Amino acid sequence: MNRKAFLNLAMGAGAAGFMGSMFYPVLRFLLPAEQTEAEPDILKVGSVADFADGFSKILKFGRSPVIVIRDLKGGFHALNATCTHLDCIVQYKKDEDLILCACHNGKYDLSGKNISGPPPRPLERYEVKVQGTDVLVFRKPA
Amino acid sequence: MSLLLALALLAAPAGADTCVKCHSTLEDKHALILRSFSRDIHKEKGLTCVSCHGGDSAKEDMSEAMDPEKGYVGVPSPAQVPEFCGKCHSSPAYMRRFNPSLPTDQQAKYRTSTHGIRLQAGDEVVATCASCHPAHSIRPAKDPTSSVYVKNVAETCARCHADTKKMAPYGIAVTQAADYRASVHGKALLERGDTSAPTCNTCHGNHGAVPPGVASIGMVCGSCHVGNMEFFKASPMAGPWERRGFHACATCHTAHGVQKPTSALLAGSGALCARCHKPGSKPLAVAASMKGGLDGLKAAYDGAEGSVRQAEEKGMDMAEARDALDGARMSMFQARTAVHAFSAEAVAKISEEGKGSADKASLAAREAVKDFRNRRLGLGLSTFVIAFLAGAVYLKVRELEEKD
Amino acid sequence: MRGSLAAAYAWLDERFDLGALVEFARHKRVPVHRGSVFYYAGGVTAFLFLLQVGTGILLLMYYRVGTDASYESVRYITTKVPFGWLMRSVHSWGANLMVLFVLLHMLSVLFMKAYRKPRELTWLTGCALLGLSMAFGFSGYLLPWNELAYFATKVGTDIVGQVPLVGHWLLRLVRGGDEVTGATLSRFFGLHVAILPALLTSLMGVHLLFVQTQGMAGADRAKKTMAFFPNFLLRDAIFWLVVLNAVCALAVFFPWELGKKADALASAPTGIKPEWYFLSQYQFLKVLPGRIGPVAGELVGIAVIGAAGLVFALVPFWERLVPEGRRDRAVELFGWVSLAVLGAMTAWGYLS
């Protein structure tokens, strides 16, 4: 084999290898991943039937936990479930119809307002929408 | 009485206060009173000397101005102070004009306090209103400069209660304030500035200050630590402890010097449970099991947190692992609270849940580190390929140029 | 294999006269001298643009626009899609390198005085291409809808609002409303993936057409030259490979961060700064006093930046006013001073 042929072969092999190392990531990128699409910033919490009056549920909404409550009158509420005092997770007290943080007895009303105990700030509120039979939680657009 | 005061207030024309006129010419002590009174809440609300001390500030003549006939009271003795302040502060009708939401039961509460009872028994050394609310420079409790602002209460109480000489006749310890400052509550309030943390009066009351009794101490602590109290009340310990007169909380946690509890309180050398329970007994086995659960969870959490941090330092996105770690952290809180049920099962169940979350985070961190290594490996491979191709192209160009 | 390739070439040549094209490319010569290495900056820029188009199209397969989906979809790309982290980081790093190489290319053209007659229009289209590249960077920066992007866009578009008379109108046009919202995001997305690519591609076509028809500046005067095809192009390819490898290494060792999701109600993070190619302008506007004489300082700043850009773009025209003997020196001085001012302002911006 002469020098020219060798160089052409080397260039061809290099180009083939290069194509391979470029197309492999691209192909892997295009093949559907385990989770096939991004979860939008709207959380489907469940169906209306799951929520009896006085029922509450804590779920992850984006990076933060959210507490979804159906109060005794049938109204829906969704709030950030992280207590504003020391970051414990709050709970719905059905008998008092308010939100309690068991760590230091901090209390919030259903609008998230801190009403007694240590919490320095209200809980952040989210919007709840009932669409058909689905209960959806989303951030209020600014 | 209030009518008289109101009249006195009206009768004093502004700028013609003879009290101020004369007292400002007297020695330092009097001038100081006038100066400090300028920032007193009573002055801000429009009250003057005669509002409390009586007399007539319109009269130039001293004997007329300070005429006991006209209700003049000089410096009240300690025994007179509660009555002196109560003239107004115990009158809802009068107080309503200034602050309708201010309570008017301070004097009544004071009478039931240890301070008040001793005062009525003729002990004039005990605290009265002015001991905590210094006369002529009183600020409302919400004002950070006030002696009774939440962050200043411990210091105010300590002025007497940390004084060995003052406390000696009563045989009361003087370490409470120091203990409190070093406690988890004191640190939260004084160092971290969490004004919701308890200070002296949160547990003892203020105007009705008494040492909380054995029965009430659980309630006092439980007013914030609800979960712990509920578990304890339902536990097999509650009944026997009450009968023996053990404080529900302070027996293990102490009263003023409460420290952040560790699992070492349960078992091992220096464990509190072993003070009463015999070695080899079932309760000690439960305690050891609870300690095992807590320690296992803590170790799993710390390990997972370390791995996650390591992965993050490598630039990997660990958001989901962080979420799992948050879950494990919550389980740690819950497991520590569940200890107060003194049930091995309750602690074990929560600890296992928490460990599950921590393991999930650990796994994610390991995957991420593996992924990170793969990225470098892939880069290395493609660098090799690219270098090879670039080299081949270069040689090809050289070959072409040689031909030229 | 060789036979069939030759047959295919012959088939095409018969129809499209490829031979003439090859002949044309072979005739184009590239001067060889000490500064020849800078000739590769233009090619690298073009390569980076292709890389941006490629990774951009791939990202489009998963990216979703909207305040409830943009951040989430970018997070999904970087964490869930295989090699998604690579595509996103290569796209971000590639964008920065592209602006860098445009600037390098431009400065080398300035110092070699390659913009002179008959290449004034090549220079002007080049200036426009720089502007488009920066617009690409600015609009793309917002698309992940994260905190930094949100505030950078807020500050950046605020400047538009300072323009006299039409400022508010312009601001609303750019933002799609009074505030930076989901409407702004949609707009920037459209700009980034439709309008700017169309503009940049056509303008780049014109730019390359000019270069091909007029040939390289100084090729006729140079002592030594090399053929554009295949010699220069093959050497160019080596540079492309090196740059590609560098971008991948940056993506692996310094993955582009996503940060927190934008929150209109959150306070701006401290020490927020724009991308480096906007930093000198940003710093200049920041250090100006609130008012200069009767007008707002920021307005004066915008006018000065605009004027400076115009002076730079119009070099081929004003340099003729300088007597011939001193012309080269004057342009070089202008180049160094511009470089020093931009460099100093950027450094100041970084350190402050």
Exposure of C156 in the CB half-sphere (CA atoms within 13 A): 25
Mean pLDDT across C291-314: 89
Q: What pLDDT score was predicted for residue C244?
A: 96
Cα–Cα distance measured from residue C73 to residue C84, given in angstroms and rounded to the nearest whole number: 11
Query: With an 8 Å Cβ cutoff, are B194 and A118 in contact?
Result: yes
Question: Cβ of C234 and B379 within 8 Å?
Answer: no
A138 touches chain C (CB under 8 A): yes
Chains B–C, number of C-beta pairs less than 8 Å apart: 52
Residues of chain A with pLDDT under 70: 1, 140-142
A38 touches chain C (CB under 8 A): yes
Cβ atoms of C183 and C177 closer than 8 Å: yes
CB contact under 8 A, B395 and A21: no
Q: How confident is the model at residue B9 (pLDDT cuts 50, 70, 90)?
A: very low
User: Above 90 in pLDDT, residue C217?
Assistant: no
8 Å CB contact of B389 and A119? no
Expressed as residue numbers, the domain containing A6 is 1-36
Tokens found for residue A37: 């699409």
Q: According to the model, what pLDDT value does residue C297 have?
A: 84
Interface contact B401-C244, CB threshold 8 A: no
In this predicted structure, the answer to whether residue B84 has a pLDDT above a threshold of 50 is: yes
Chain C hits for B404, CB-CB cut-off 8 Å, are 227
Distance from CA of A11 to the nearest CA of B (A): 5
Distant-in-sequence, close-in-space partners of B398: CB < 8 Å, separation ≥ 6: none
How open is the CA angle A49-A50-A56, to the nearest 5 degrees?
130
CB C265 within 8 A of CB C99: no
Q: What is the DSSP letter of C29?
A: E
pLDDT of C2 above 70: no
- pLDDT above 50: residue B5: no
Nearest chain C residue to B382, by CA: C245
The pLDDT of residue B155: 92
Q: Is B46 helix (H, G, I), strand (E, B) or coil?
A: coil
Which CATH number characterizes residue A55's domain?
Answer: 2.102.10.10
pLDDT at A142: 45
Contact A115, A98 (CB under 8 A): yes
State the pLDDT confidence band at B213, using cuts at 50, 70 and 90. low
* Closest residue in chain C to residue A34, using alpha carbons only: C80
d(CA B352, CA C28) in angstroms, rounded, equals 75
Residue B18 has pLDDT above 60, yes or no: yes
Phi-psi region of B302 (alpha: psi -120 to 50; beta: other; left: phi over 0): alpha
Q: Once rounded to an integer, what is the mean pLDDT over residues C45-55? A: 97
The predicted complex's ipTM stands at 0.87
Measured between beta carbons, the chain B residues lying within 8 angstroms of C252 are 375-376, 378-379
CB pair distance less than 8 Å for A7 and B392:
yes
* Phi and psi torsions of C291, nearest 5°: -135, 140
Interhelix angle C70-79/C84-111, rounded to 10 degrees, is 100
Mutate to test the interface with B, among A7, A96, A107 (most CBs of B within 10 A): A7
**Nearest chain C residue (CA) to A32:** C81
- Residue C288's pLDDT band, with cuts at 50, 70 and 90, is confident
Taking CB atoms and an 8 Å cutoff, what residues of chain A touch B395?
A: 7, 10
Which residue in chain B is spatially nearest to A104 when comparing CA positions? B224
Please name the helix (run of DSSP H) or strand (run of DSSP E) that holds residue A3, with its range, or none.
Answer: helix A3-30
Q: Residue B148, class by beta-carbon neighbours within 10 Å (0-12 exposed, 13-18 middle, 19+ buried)?
A: buried
Tallying the residues shown for chain A, one arrives at 142
Neighbours of chain A (3+ CB pairs under 8 A): B, C
- Residue B230 burial (CB count, 10 A): 15
CA distance linking residue B42 with residue B48, whole number of Å = 8
Which positions ≥6 away from B353 have C-beta within 8 Å? B331
pLDDT at B298: 95
Domain spans of chain B? 213-262, 282-377
pLDDT value at B282 more than 80: yes
Q: Is the pLDDT of residue B311 over 80?
A: yes
Hunting for tokens 């002469």 — which residue is that?
Answer: A2
Contacts of B385 (CB under 8 A, 6+ apart): A14, A17, A18, A20, A21
Residues 255-274 of B with CB under 8 A from C: none
Which residue shows structure tokens 């093949």?
A31
Assess whether pLDDT exceeds 60 at residue B315: yes
Question: Which range in B64-68, B113-117, C342-346 is most confidently predicted, on average pLDDT?
Answer: C342-346
Closest residue in chain B to residue C86, using alpha carbons only: B375
Pairing status of strand A76-80 against strand A64-70: antiparallel
> Two tokens at B158?
């300590």
Give the residue on A whose Cα is nearest the Cα of C181. Answer: A142
Arithmetic mean of pLDDT, B24-30: 79
Subunit contact C61:A30, Cβ cutoff 8 A? yes
Question: Is a pLDDT exceeding 60 seen at residue B14?
Answer: no
For residues C290-294, give the mean pLDDT. 83
Are both A125 and A59 inside the same structural domain?
Answer: yes
Nearest CB partner across the interface for A15, out of B326, B330, B389: B389
Minimal CA separation from C328 to chain A, in Å:
43
Which pLDDT band holds residue B13 (cuts at 50, 70, 90)?
A: very low
Do residues A64 and A97 both lie within one domain?
yes
What letter would DSSP give residue A46? Answer: E
Amino acid residing at C326? R
Q: What is the total residue count of chain C?
A: 352
* Overall average pLDDT of the B177-188 stretch: 93
Contact across the interface for C235 and B376, Cβ inside 8 Å: no
Provide the 3-class DSSP secondary structure of residue B254: coil
Which residues are A64's β-sheet partners?
A61
pLDDT band at B50; cut points 50, 70, 90: confident
Q: Is B223 on the interface with A (CB under 8 A)?
A: yes
* pLDDT tens for each residue of B215-266: 566 678 888 888 888 899 888 888 888 888 888 888 888 889 889 888 888 8
Minimal Cα distance from B318: which residue of C? C79
**Segment 296-335 of chain B within 8 Å of chain C by CB:** 315, 317, 319-320
Q: Do C237 and B393 touch (CB under 8 A)?
A: yes
* Number of separate domains in chain A: 2
pLDDT at B244: 85
Question: Å from A22 to nearest chain C CA?
Answer: 10
Would you state the pLDDT for residue A141? Answer: 56
Residue A68 contacts residue A137 (beta carbons within 8 Å) = yes
Residues 57 through 96 of chain A touching chain C, CB cutoff 8 Å: 62-63
Q: What is the pLDDT of residues B132-167, one digit of tens each?
A: 999 888 999 889 999 999 999 999 999 999 999 999
Ordered domains of chain C (ranges, CATH): 21-263 (1.20.810.10), 273-352 (1.10.287)
Q: Would you call C244 an interface residue with chain B, using a CB distance cutoff of 8 Å?
A: yes
Q: What is the model's pLDDT at position B3?
A: 47
More confident residue, B31 or B194: B194
Residues A61 and A102 in one domain: yes
Strand ranges, E, within chain C: 29-31, 225-227, 291-292, 295-296
- 3-state SS, residue A118: coil
Q: How far apart are CA B122 and CA B134, in angstroms?
A: 22
Closest-approach residue (CA) in chain A for B202: A117
Cβ contact B196–A88 (<8 Å): no
Residue C341 and residue C349: Cα distance in Å, rounded?
12
Say yes or no for a CB contact (<8 Å) between B226 and A105. Answer: yes
Flag whether pLDDT at C183 surpasses 80. Answer: yes
The model's pLDDT over C52-111, given as tens digits with 9 standing for 90+, comes to 999 999 999 999 999 888 998 998 999 889 999 999 999 999 999 999 999 999 999 999
- pLDDT higher than 80, residue C267: no
* Structure letter (DSSP) for residue A89: B
What is the maximum alpha-carbon separation in chain C? Answer: 78
CA distance C104 to C144: 28
My answer on whether A98 and A113 are in the same domain is yes
Distance (Å, rounded) from C-alpha A97 to C-alpha A91? Answer: 11
In the predicted structure, residue B208 carries a pLDDT above the cut 90: no
B136, B40 in Cβ contact below 8 A? yes
C81 chain-A contacts, CB cut-off 8 A? 29, 33
- The band of B12, judged by pLDDT with boundaries at 50, 70 and 90, is very low
Cis bond leading into C274, ω under 30°?
no
Token pair for B365: 């961190």
Whole-angstrom Cα Rg for chain A? 27
**Contact at CB, B385 and A117, closer than 8 angstroms:** no
Residues A73 and A132 both lie in one domain? yes
Select from A15, A18, A89 the Cβ nearest to the Cβ of B330: A89
pLDDT of residue B77: 87
